[in-house]
Amino acid sequence: MKISVIGTGYVGLVTGACLADFGMEVIGVDKDEAKIGALRAGRIPIYEPGLENLLKKNEQEGRLSFSTDIPAAIQGSTAVFIAVGTPPLPDGSTDLTFIRQVAGSIAENLNGYKVIVTKSTVPIGTGQLISSIVRAGAGRDGEFAVVSNPEFLREGSAIEDFLRPDRVVIGTGDPHALRIMLDIYSPLRNAGVPFVTTDVESAELIKYASNSFLATKISFINEMAELCEALGADVEVVAKGMGLDARIGNQFLHPGPGFGGSCFPKDTRAVASIARASGGRLRIVEAVLEVNDHTLRRMLSKLETAFGSLAGATAAVLGLSFKPETDDVRESPAVAIVRALVERGCRVRAYDPAAMEACRPLLPEVVFCVNPYEAATGADGLVIVTEWNQFRKLQFEALRDVMRRPLIVDLRNLYKPQEVADAGLRYVSVGRATVEPAAPDSAGDPLARRAVKEAP
């Protein structure tokens, strides 16, 4: 079957590569000539583990190609997957300009029955909008069906998520379109992946509801972390104790600087705005957003307290992407934290394994370093913001040797507090007591250590 995937951003590239790997004949289309030129030359615009190999393999085997010719791609395909950007507008609603443009192109090039699939996260009602644009543009004879097939890909494990998803959601009112979709996804059906088939609106809402619920778990544990600090409890143990209840589950209960990225902030704002536009309110989702903003501000006070004063200090920041295994810095808490540090007169030396190029234009005041130890040189504190695996085994002695003051502020709780204190560094983390290093003259003496409660 011939499929075109319109939009060669994150979702489009992963979808195109994986559908080609299922044996479909896929053409990836984008109006951005530079992007298509680069893809044709084998250059991948994003960092995603496994993507480059999958693209290469399927291109070499003749199942995947790239083009800027949107009309030809539409005319040549049975299914058109829409994976264009749906950026947020200032009021939290979604900008559907690109979706409208694609719907217009499909209308102009409707030369036979087509299944039009939305892969991008789109507000409830977008399926209807696409239908009406295509119907109006193509005239009464145009044959097509609209399908909502939301993606649940996580950056950094997108290929794995596509090929081994928890579920596939297909929303359509057209039985023929459903058969085509089930055929496209037959490798996953044969592998026993659960399928949820429903109407377009329910499918559209499943995506928003899922992301909002996951964001709720994060804001919830971040609030609990704040309470733990006030009460002297340990949020890691609290999260473990909660997560062992199968009804709660242990995932998405990691406290930190708040959620970021291209999905959670955008989708929670969008669904809150959709609810308001429909005359209702999503009080929980609105609170989740408020807690997320508060969490980031709380991290800044934590830094201020830990450093004593930020003005004139030097901070070594580890991790700039919004999460590990990606170079994506969209709505990254790390970028917000670095900006706030700089605003408060703090010098920032930063290291990230993948996101430094993306950050150079955004953070001109920052000194970008080649590894954590260079970043730590002369610093008054080391701040871990993104939990890249390579930050989980730092050489504390080497850090202490190069830092001006032996302080680690770990916003991802990567270490056992005592382990850091034993190595002679003060350790501030999230939802746990701050631990002071053993006094230099009594190193190794456990009685010399003391745990002090976080200042509120």
Nearer to ligand UDX, 63 or 207 (CB): 207
Smallest distance, ligand UDX to C-beta of residue 17, A: 16
CB 308 within 8 A of CB 342: no
Q: Binding residue for ligand UDX (CB under 6 A) from 114, 254, 426, 432? A: 254
Residue 111 CA to its chain's centroid (Å): 37
- Asked if 204 touches ligand UDX (CB under 6 A), the answer is no
Candidates 250-258, 339-347, 388-396, 433-441: pick the segment binding ligand UDX (CB under 6 A).
Answer: 250-258
- Asked if 153 touches ligand UDX (CB under 6 A), the answer is yes
Strand-pair category, 25-29 with 2-6:
parallel
- Asked if 285 touches ligand UDX (CB under 6 A), the answer is no
Please report the beta strands in 128-277, taking only residues with DSSP state E, as ranges in sequence order: 144-148, 168-171, 195-198
Nearer to ligand UDX, 13 or 145 (CB): 13
Q: Binding residue for ligand UDX (CB under 6 A) from 113, 195, 213, 252? A: 252
- Residues in contact with ligand UDX, total (CB under 6 A)? 19
Smallest distance, ligand UDX to C-beta of residue 219, A: 9
- Asked if 396 touches ligand UDX (CB under 6 A), the answer is no
Tell me the CB-side half-sphere exposure of residue 182, using CA atoms within 13 A. 15
Q: Binding residue for ligand UDX (CB under 6 A) from 185, 208, 264, 391? A: 264
CB 50 within 8 A of CB 13: no
User: What does each C-alpha distance from 199 to 124, 174, 175, 207, 415 come to in angstroms?
Assistant: 11, 9, 11, 13, 46
Q: Binding residue for ligand UDX (CB under 6 A) from 256, 353, 381, 437? A: 256
Beta bridge partners of 115: 79, 145
Whose CB is nearest to ligand UDX?
A: 263
Q: Would you call 129 helix, strand, or coil by DSSP?
A: helix
Nearer to ligand UDX, 264 or 396 (CB): 264
Amino acid at 320: L
- Asked if 165 touches ligand UDX (CB under 6 A), the answer is no
Largest CA distance in the chain: 87
CA 363 – CA 185 distance, rounded (Å): 43
369 is an active site residue: no
Q: Name the nearest CA neighbour of 257 among 352, 310, 316, 333.
A: 333
Smallest distance, ligand UDX to C-beta of residue 267, A: 7
Candidates 131-139, 260-268, 352-360, 389-397: pick the segment binding ligand UDX (CB under 6 A).
Answer: 260-268
Token pair of 403, please? 């830092």
Q: Binding residue for ligand UDX (CB under 6 A) from 154, 339, 400, 405? A: 154
Token pair of 261, please? 């990225």
Q: Binding residue for ligand UDX (CB under 6 A) from 155, 223, 422, 454? A: 155
CA 413 – CA 430 distance, rounded (Å): 6
Candidates 179-187, 211-219, 271-279, 429-437: pick the segment binding ligand UDX (CB under 6 A).
Answer: 211-219
E strand or H helix at 376, and its extent?
A: helix 372-376
Binding characters for ligand UDX, 217-246, by CB under 6 A (x = yes) = -x----------------------------
Contacts of 212 (CB under 8 A, 6+ apart): 267, 268, 271, 282, 284, 285, 288
Task: Tell me which of 18, 228, 263, 346 is the catalytic residue.
Answer: 263
Strand-pair category, 434-435 with 451-452:
antiparallel
**Residues interacting with ligand UDX, by CB under 6 A?**
151-155, 211, 214, 218, 252-254, 256, 259-261, 263-264, 322-323
